[in-house]
Amino acid sequence: MLARKSLTRAGPPLLGMLLLPLLVFADDPKIGPTGLQRDVVFTDYAPLSQNKELMQRLMTPLSAARIRRAVARSGLALREQSIDPAHENFVIYVPSRAPPHGYALLVFVPPWRDARVPRGWTSTLEQHGIIFVSAANSGNDTNILDRREPLALLAAQNVIGRYRIDPERVYVGGFSGGSRVALRIALGYPDVFHGALLNAGSDPIGDAAAPVPPADLFRTFQNSTRLVYLTGQQDTPNLDKDRGSRLSMRNWCVFNVDTQEMPRVGHEVADSVALNHALDTLFREPHTDPDKLAECRTRIEDKLTAELRHVEDLLADRKSDDALKLLEKIDVHYGGLAAPRSIALAEQIESPPPKQAGRAQGQ
């Protein structure tokens, strides 16, 4: 367990805690160094990268509850953070001049092990006033929940603490397997990241790999997150995955979605031209028809309510095994939308009340 002072929910909201350095230095002309910086070491911990926060946002409610119970039974404590930033290296590119409202920020999740800016990107980042940051040892061969996701959150926290960042233009992105992780992060942290650049990698949401977060966060994701799918025209496998992901988004009432194909390109990271178009799209303010969104949300809520009622009916008929199987399917598909009702039903199934003792013989 890290020897670090505990960070709790007391005080300002979590996003306020993340952006507190921005508020402190908003009128301070001082910024950190500009240009390309390699082997950067950060020191600040992020409240949003705490293990309990990762579990709440990036796991299904029943999975997270079972881990908490297992930790409690063991007599041990859940580690507060899985990453010590002082032992990690990052690459940063900072444009030479900050835009009037502050830099935009792109946190990039790579598929490779080293920390680098993709070739040709620096001129486009300079043109758009975007700070780029990416972690080393965050490739496809590393653990998603223990490393790749907290590293991205720590990167955001530390860059925001050192530069004047426009909080409405904080984005997450990635390439290939890193793009799939970026989508998970955007889904779980829509109060931090307002868009995702998905370069040749995506997944559907509403399953164990990309669970739906708690209802308040998911509403934010639906309202204010823009997704840009950017894939090579000849990258057939990932174009197919993009289509499945976009269909999933429509089914889950996520409508701020844009698609761009890179002509005559296979499974390759975006070049400067493609990146320029993608960033222009990412910067556009999200907008959704409120009636369309409300109707879609009602459809999902009605289906969820009916399925949870079916679990209750099975319990009433003393079919606990069938009830648990259905509840687990609901947990995987609906994720945080089903909580806290799903958690209460699981506790009822897995911890039934003790049977009352019968009358003593002869009475």
Is-contact 90 133, C-beta < 8 A? yes
- Per-residue pLDDT for 30 more than 80? no
- What is the Cα 245 distance to its own chain's centre? 15
pLDDT for 101-151, tens place per residue?
Answer: 999 999 999 999 999 999 999 999 999 999 999 999 999 999 999 999 999
**54-58-63 Cα angle (round to 5):** 95
Please name the residues in contact with 156: beta carbons below 8 A apart, sequence gap of 6 or more: 18, 46, 105, 107, 133, 170, 172, 192, 193
Check residue 57 and give its pLDDT: 98
Record: fold of 14-282: Rossmann fold (3.40.50)
Taking 3-state DSSP, the helix, strand and coil percentages for the chain, each rounded to the nearest 5, stand at 45, 15, 40
Q: DSSP class of residue 48?
A: G
Site of tokens 């990258």: 235
pLDDT for 38-70, tens place per residue?
Answer: 999 999 998 999 999 999 999 999 999 999 999
Is-contact 125 93, C-beta < 8 A? yes
The span from the CA of 257 to the CA of 322, in Å, is 38
* Beta strands, E only, 233-296: 257-262
The span from the CA of 245 to the CA of 229, in Å, is 10
Residues facing 262 on adjacent strands = 232
Please name the residues in contact with 62: beta carbons below 8 A apart, sequence gap of 6 or more: 327, 328, 331, 342, 343, 346
Is-contact 139 112, C-beta < 8 A? yes
Q: Report the percent of the chain where pLDDT is more than 90.
A: 83
- What is the Cα 195 distance to its own chain's centre? 11
pTM: 0.88
Phi-psi region of 3 (alpha: psi -120 to 50; beta: other; left: phi over 0): beta
